[in-house]
Amino acid sequence: MPLHDLDAEHSDTGHDRIGYHPASHAIQGLIQQSTEIERELARLLGVHPSDLRAVSELVSGGPRTVSELGGALGASTATASAIADRLEAHGFARRERDSADRRRVTVAATPAAGRRILEHMGPLMDEADALIRALPPTEQEIIASFLAQLVVLMGEHRRALSAQTASPVPDAEGPA
């Protein structure tokens, strides 16, 4: 169950009984919708969601070595290499030799990858841009600042989670 569905009752302060502001619940809803949109975009492009994440990294961040791509995805070099192979097969990526160091090979998104993603995401990006631009400039600045801080916070939290060791799910029936 999404966090924003845990408790819909709000007090007079605008906070729910478990202490989260309605905006925090809206953020949780935004994250959930983003995950669902990513799944549908991957389906439309005919790739696995992890492959979509990889091609998105390449489109936004530029060419990377397979090792760097793996690091960005939290995957091994072998897994990133397999993803790069699948992206090449779909025409979304290509391997390129570095002109300065011919031993270095990078993976780059193809122009087709960016076009296909924008084809599906452009309408949402246009509507979101129109929503923010319709607000008074001071509100635009507040929202832009808040979202930039939230991106940093989420990145820090992701890194903190990545540093933790996975623990097994406790037995629901208790110790044997």
Q: Which domain holds residue 125?
A: 35-161
Q: Is residue 173 part of a domain?
A: no
Kindly state the average pLDDT of the residues 22-26. 92
Q: Is residue 28 part of a domain?
A: no
Instruction: State the pLDDT at residue 98.
Output: 81
Tens digit of pLDDT for each residue in 30-70?
A: 999 999 999 999 999 999 999 999 999 999 999 999 999 99
Instruction: State the pLDDT at residue 133.
Output: 98
Q: Is residue 56 part of a domain?
A: yes
Kindly state the average pLDDT of the residues 11-17. 53
Q: Is residue 24 part of a domain?
A: no
Q: Is residue 27 part of a domain?
A: no
Q: Is 6's pLDDT higher than 50?
A: no
Q: What is the CATH number of the domain that holds 140?
A: 1.10.10.10
Q: Phi and psi of 7, rounded to 5°?
A: -155, 105
Q: Is 123's pLDDT higher than 60?
A: yes
The total number of structural domains in the chain stands at: 1
Instruction: State the pLDDT at residue 13.
Output: 53
What's the whole-model pTM score?
0.77
Kindly state the average pLDDT of the residues 103-129. 95
Kindly state the average pLDDT of the residues 150-162. 93
Q: Is residue 39 part of a domain?
A: yes
Q: Is 79's pLDDT higher than 70?
A: yes
Sheet strands side by side (includes 93-97)? 64-65, 105-109, 93-97
Q: Is residue 137 part of a domain?
A: yes
Q: Which two tokens stand for residue 33?
A: 């919708």
C-alpha torsion angle, residues 57, 63, 68, 70 (rounded to 10): 50
Which among 111, 57, 46, 96 has a CA at the least distance from the CA of 80? 57
Q: Is residue 52 part of a domain?
A: yes
Residue 96 Rama label (left phi>0; alpha psi -120 to 50; beta): beta
Q: Is 4's pLDDT higher than 60?
A: no
Q: Is 94's pLDDT higher than 60?
A: yes
